[in-house]
Structure 1
Amino acid sequence: MEAQHGNATETVSAVQDATRDEQVLFEPGRLAAPSDGGDGPWSIWSLKQKKIIILAASFASLLSLLSGQIYFPALDTIAKDLHVTDSLVNLSITTYVIIQAIAPTFTAQSSDTAGRRPLYMVCFILYMAANIGLGAQNNYAALLVLRCFQSLGSSGTAALSNAVAADITTSAKHGSYVSYAAAIPMLGPTLGPIIGGLLAQYVAWHSVFWFLWALTGAVAIPMAIFFPETCREIVGDGSIPPPKWNRCYTNVQRERNALKQGKKVPYDKRNELAKSRHIRFPNPFGTIMLLLHRECGFALLYSAILCCSFYATLRGRLLDSNFRRHAKRLGISPENNRQADLADFPIERARLEVVLPTIILGSACIVGFGWTLQYKKNLAGPLILLFVIAFCVSALLNCVACLMLDLYPGKAGTVTASNNLLRCLLGPDATAIVVPMINGIGIGWAVTIFAFLNVAALPLLWYIMKQGPRWRAETLQKKSEKEDAGGRR
């Protein structure tokens, strides 16, 4: 094994010297800065500014989960008012989830080349228009179609927050900032049913959509004015002025201040990046193909399995602490605002080691939760266990999100969409089969089966930690050989 590790290290070193062009930076084996890199800071934004940017993206991501949850309490009222069956109203939930799985495949992938801001603005406009239509209509067909557009707009924003986090932070801080990005959306499952229930009961079910419209305006207007473009293929570390469609007041003010102080504004770099950037219609197969990569697919598969009991809390500081521990062991100094070349770094272990104990604990609590409900002893037991489950299950979700951002630094939006796609495809399946399982074998055994699947699939994580560095080295070697062959021709 030591010999294999040595060979992998030599391979990576050779490839690093031979392949310095921009395309290598988008290979999963490359854990380095994008093309604007160098010895300078990773991002010009201060610590406070980074947190504000991430929290703004997190607020935008809230719309997707909130839109799904706030709708549930109004289902009976909608069915009665529109004179349709409960099954037909439930179909509007199914279509919403389907679009929720597919939409980020296009929006997040487009944001990797067109930029984050234009995609945010398009999603906001589409979402607000859909909510206006939903609030004004009284027809089932209109409800079904407009819910699809609502999902298209809201789920598009959900896939962008992790991409923004990857744009402005290094691998050493991905854990904390991904947690910031995931924090506010988790209010959706908590507050959604409460708000939806109150509005449906005391106002009218149409008011649910007017509330979402007003909330989106409260988020979209400040972001339209102040939220800067962060995509590194457009603005680099943030110092390169963005094109017209990617500009906001923050960018304009920064340019004006620089010109007043007699500083050079790098318009030439903006033009160079524009020439090298090719904006194409997003290819959904690109997102799907990422799932077939060993570096990506196994981790996302386990995340999707665990996501059948999806919850989330903060877990970022422990992730960053484990990253620093491995860096210290290898003699690497992980500066907060400088992105190191991590080709020799065991990034898989640094991200996934953290989650192993909590998966075992969380699975045990899931079993306990099922059986306390089975015997109906006391409500306090299930509630306490749910709290622990939420903490434990969230650990893997954030860890996998961080690992994907580390492995694909130039495709943050696309890989986030891949993660969303797989989870949304498996999640509804689990929801569909759990009720028949409970009716057939009882809730205790049904939940125990899901917990067993979590533990039985754990070897996937061990396999990733063991083989990940070798996979990355092989990917770089194949890329180098392909380029050498092309050069000889």
Structure 2
Amino acid sequence: MASTDCDKIETTETDTVAASSLTVPSTEDVEKAPVDDTGPITPPPFSIYSRWEKRLMILGAALSATFSPLTGQIYLPALTVLADEFNVIDAEINLTITTYMIFQGITPMFIGGFADSAGWRPAYLICFVIYIAANVGLAMSQSYTSLLVVRCIQSAGSATTIALCQVIVTDIATSAERGQYMGIMLLPIAIGPSLGPVLGGALSQYLGWRWIFWVLAILASVDLVAMLLFFPETCRRIVGDGSVKAHLIYRTSWKMLADRRPKDENTSDTVSPTSKSAATLKGAFSLRPLLASITLICTNLELFVMLMYNAIVFAGPYAVRAALPSQFHALFELTDLQIGFLYLPMTAGSIVAAFFSGRSLNWNFCRHAKKQGLQPVDKSRQLCLKGFPIEKARLQAAGPFLLLSAAVMITWGWSVEYSGGLAAPCVLMFLLWVGNTGVTNACNALVADICPTQAGAASAAGNLTRCLLGAAASAVIVPMIGVLSSGWAYTLMGGLSVLFAPLLLLLMIKGPSWREAFEKKMEDKRALDS
């Protein structure tokens, strides 16, 4: 319904004037289209790719991004086995989870800013080479120390794949269609946390824990080859709207074969206005963006407030995932594989949320566009968001999911403490991930909207805040349960998201002025640099 309502909007003469003054390309690499004397200025298409090409590209990027959550969760059912293997206590083996998440948060700050400048293809190559080598090392580990250290290196290799996926969405999708594509992006990423424990439990129980890492190394090798052979570079600094002929390292094998075909004599080598602008930037490579995430989160107040709140909401469900193996093994004496199956309701909840949250984001965006006198009939063209209440468009859609997430988090703790079976926890896990995924989807869309030219650095900053608070939650949840009980420990987790909820209202009220001030600061900085 959301996309249908938006597409049926009729443009009146008054609305056309309003739209012509506001509907301009929003990224700095896009030039204005020529003025037509018979009508208003029409911006060029944001991307040369069709709707289905965008969907397939985002799905492919999301499949690669699955390695980060898959790697984090595939390890959980084998924790007790590893503790016995290396003769360490549960707290020491849980430290490998905490350190993994710390590196998962820190590494994308460097690679995300690097990808904004050098493109995602070199970034993928670096990440997956590190990741594959780390998996081989983990499969051959002979001590707890090597397991702990190489696990950190494994995290460094896989962590940036989610940030790179969000960069690709920002590169090819406009704000009017971004909600739906964020939903597509979340589907494989949502499957990873649930598929991981099932796969890890089966491998650990029937082949041994070392095969967990051998399988990850094989899958990552196949994915890397497929991405480098068939997936095009999308970085707008290098390829513009997708039509710029970039350096060989940015072209797929399919593209290079196509370039070698004889050209039609009647075909000209013209490029779009967007391409001409980007062509001057192609091949740009700089080490300056490596710390862009730290700079961005320290200078952009709106981004900082939003990411911190999203991290608070994220911490609770991660605590549930981290404590579930030890809690349910003690309560129900389940095997590794059975514990793995308990994570499947999380996948179902994430899939449902990805579908509905994406549609609600697009619908609410169109609703606010109508209020502003804008008519986003053509979603292939990017609206200028200056003066547009994008914060309300995104965060209002997140509200119902946030309430659901907080309520279920509190209920979860008391259910585990007093329930005599598995049915209630499974249903609550489904609902918890519906709520949490809906909030995450809205926050990711807003990050892309307010930082369109620094998507890699912004998504890496979000990854940092989420992972650091998630690591803290996973480290303290078991001791908290021991001191407070499950009911009160998770009541505290859920209560934090309610306690800090006024931050969302603050963002909706002050966000536009903060965004405008930050954009002006960036314009002044660019003027000084030039």
TM-score normalised by structure 1 residue count: 0.87
Q: Aligned pairs, how many? A: 460
Counterpart for residue 341 of structure 2: none
Moved more, 101-110 or 431-440: 431-440
Within a 5 Å distance, the mapping from 1:122-141 to structure 2 comes to 122-141=126-145
Alpha-carbon displacement from aligned partner over 1:311-369 (angstroms, at most 9, x marks no partner):
74402111011101111222212221111212021100000001112222332222222
Tell me what 2:73 maps to: 69
- Output one character per residue of 1:136-165: Cα deviation in whole Å (capped at 9) or x when no partner: 343444333322221111112121111100
Q: Does 1:307 align with 2:307?
A: no
Map residues 174-193 of structure 1 onto 2, 5 A cutoff. Answer: 174-193=178-197
Q: Residue type matched to 2:489 in 1?
A: A
346-355 vs 199-208, which deviates more?
A: 199-208
Instruction: Write the distance in 2 (CA, Å) between the matches of 1:483 and 1:219.
Output: 38
The answer to whether the 8 Å contact 2:177/2:379 transfers is yes
SS at match of 1:160: helix
Aligned twin of 1:26: none
Q: What residue identity is the alignment partner of 1:249?
A: S
Q: Which SS does the other structure have where 2:263 is aligned?
A: helix
1 CA distance for matches of 2:528 and 2:59? Answer: 46
- Cα contact 1:355–1:396 (8 A) shared by 2: yes
Structure 1: which 5+ residue stretches go unaligned? 1-12, 18-29
Q: CA RMSD in A?
A: 2.7
Once residues 181 and 358 of structure 2 are traced to their aligned partners in structure 1, the CA distance between those partners, rounded to angstroms, is 7
Partner of 2:477: 434
Aligned to 2:269: 264
Within the candidate set 479, 496, 517, 1:453 is matched to 496
1:229 corresponds in structure 2 to 233
Q: Encode CA deviations 1:156-175: one digit per residue, 9 max, x unaligned.
A: 21211111000000001111
Over 3 Å counting, the alpha-carbon distance change for 1:47 and 1:462 in structure 2 is: same
5 Å-filtered alignment, 1:327-346, equals: 327-334=369-376, 335-346=378-389
Q: Contact between 1:166 and 1:405, CA under 8 Å: does it hold in 2?
A: yes
Q: Is the 8 A contact 1:31 1:408 kept in 2?
A: no
Q: Which secondary structure state, in structure 2, belongs to the residue aligned with residue 237 of structure 1? A: coil
Secondary structure class of the residue paired with 1:103? helix
**Contact kept? 1:259, 1:265, Cα under 8 Å:** no
| Matches of 2:51 and 2:223, distance apart in 1 | 22
Q: 2:302 aligns with which of 281, 288, 295?
A: 295
Taking a change above 3 Å as real, the CA distance of residues 135 and 255 of structure 1, as seen in their structure-2 partners, is same
Distance 2:481 2:79 in 1: 23
- AA of the residue aligned to 2:95: L
Percent identity among equivalent residues? 37
Letter in 1 for 2:116: D
The code of the aligned residue for 1:306 comes to V
Contact 2:99 2:152 in 1 (8 A): yes
Is 2:362 aligned against 1:320? yes
Structure 1 Cα separation of the partners of residues 519 and 221 of structure 2: 45
Q: Alpha-carbon deviation of 1:412? A: 0.6
Tell me the distance in 1 between the aligned counterparts of 2:194 and 2:293.
34
**Range with bigger deviation, 386-395 or 348-357:** 386-395
C-alpha separation in 1, matches of 2:303 and 2:196: 32
Partners of 1:425 and 1:325 in 2: how far apart?
36
In the alignment, what sits opposite 1:8?
none
Contact 1:72–1:193 (Cα < 8 Å) also in 2: yes
Contact 2:309 2:500 survives alignment (8 Å): yes
Provide the residue aligned with 2:397 in structure 1. Answer: 354
Q: How does 1:96-175 map to 2 (within 5 A)?
A: 96-175=100-179
Structure 2: runs of 5 or more not aligned: 1-17, 33-42, 318-345
Q: Is the 8 A contact 2:30 2:277 kept in 1?
A: no
2-structure distance, mates of 1:305, 1:202: 37
Q: In the alignment, residue 401 of structure 1 is paired with which amino acid?
A: N
| SS at structure 1 position matched to 2:233 | coil
CA contact (8 A) 1:108 1:160 kept: yes
Q: Partners in 2 of 1:322 and 1:268 — Cα distance?
A: 34
Distance verdict in 2 for CA 1:240–1:403, change over 3 Å: same
Which of 463, 466, 472 aligns to 2:515? It is 472
Q: Please, which moves more after superposition, 181-190 or 347-356?
A: 181-190
